[in-house]
A and B are shown apart, each in its own frame.
Chain A
Amino acid sequence: TQLLEQSPQFLSIQEGENLTVYCNSSSVFSSLQWYRQEPGEGPVLLVTVVTGGEVKKLKRLTFQFGDARKDSSLHITAAQPGDTGLYLCAGAGGTSYGKLTFGQGTILTVHP
């Protein structure tokens, strides 16, 4: 069974601070995705990383895939209240082709 562990589980910060969310596994994934979910809505895809060591930037968000394709991180610079939500990492491929394995999520609250 492939498992993804996210940390921290909760994060409460002030507007303008930086933060990093981690996603770790003992399994290798073909790709790693990050989703953001707001209350009452389904998750929305932010980014997909597919190459070990890959770094992708999306405005103030930076995503990194570990060299061994077992871990990933999401870094947010100068967080804003609009960044508040549940952040989920999800691994695809490996031993579960075509299926996503989700982490338990990180609840981020950014206070104005």
Chain B
Amino acid sequence: EAGVAQSPRYKIIEKRQSVAFWCNPISGHATLYWYQQILGQGPKLLIQFQNNGVVDDSQLPKDRFSAERLKGVDSTLKIQPAKLEDSAVYLCASSLQMTYYNEQFFGPGTRLTVL
């Protein structure tokens, strides 16, 4: 079974530029998550999708971050414009369903450096 795919793996941009990340979840997984992980910290949830609908985006900085999951499969996360503090690893995860035991499978992440 193929895992969660993410691209690119690394991205370096200057502040105020735009960037987009792509995620392809495990086939059949209805729930998709985007996390931000700053070096030395645990992942912080940015947005959670159930199929193509948003379940939770309470911690997404909506003035600069946006995400979509068209057709309930692939997802993209965009930052526009980027700030220095956005430097982090952006992780995508998926789970079969939204349950209380909620086992999530993570992709390798995209490491973003904002200069």
* A positions within 8 Å CB-CB of B: 4, 6, 30-31, 33, 40-45, 48, 50, 88, 90, 92-93, 96-105, 107
Establish whether residues A99 and B48, one from each chain, have CB atoms under 8 Å apart when the complex forms.
yes
- Could you mark each residue 38-50 of chain B with 1 if its beta carbon is under 8 Å from any beta carbon of chain A, else 0? 0011111100101
Q: What are 27 pairs between A and B in contact, CB < 8 Å? A: A30-B101, A31-B100, A31-B101, A40-B109, A40-B111, A41-B109, A42-B4, A42-B91, A42-B106, A42-B109, A43-B91, A43-B106, A45-B104, A48-B103, A88-B43, A97-B100, A98-B48, A98-B50, A98-B56, A98-B98, A98-B100, A99-B102, A100-B33, A100-B45, A100-B104, A101-B45, A104-B41
Q: Give the CA-CA distance A107 to B40 in the complex, in Å.
A: 8
B: interface residue count bin? 20 to 34
- Which residues does chain B contribute within 8 Å of A40, judged by CB atoms? 108-109, 111
Given contacts A102-B43, A105-B41, whether A31 and B109 have CB atoms under 8 Å apart is no
Q: Give the CA-CA distance A76 to B108 in the complex, in Å.
A: 25
- Which residues does chain A contribute within 8 Å of B43, judged by CB atoms? 43, 88, 102
Establish whether residues B107 and A42, one from each chain, have CB atoms under 8 Å apart when the complex forms.
yes
B93 interface contact, C-beta 8 A: yes
Establish whether residues A93 and B106, one from each chain, have CB atoms under 8 Å apart when the complex forms.
no
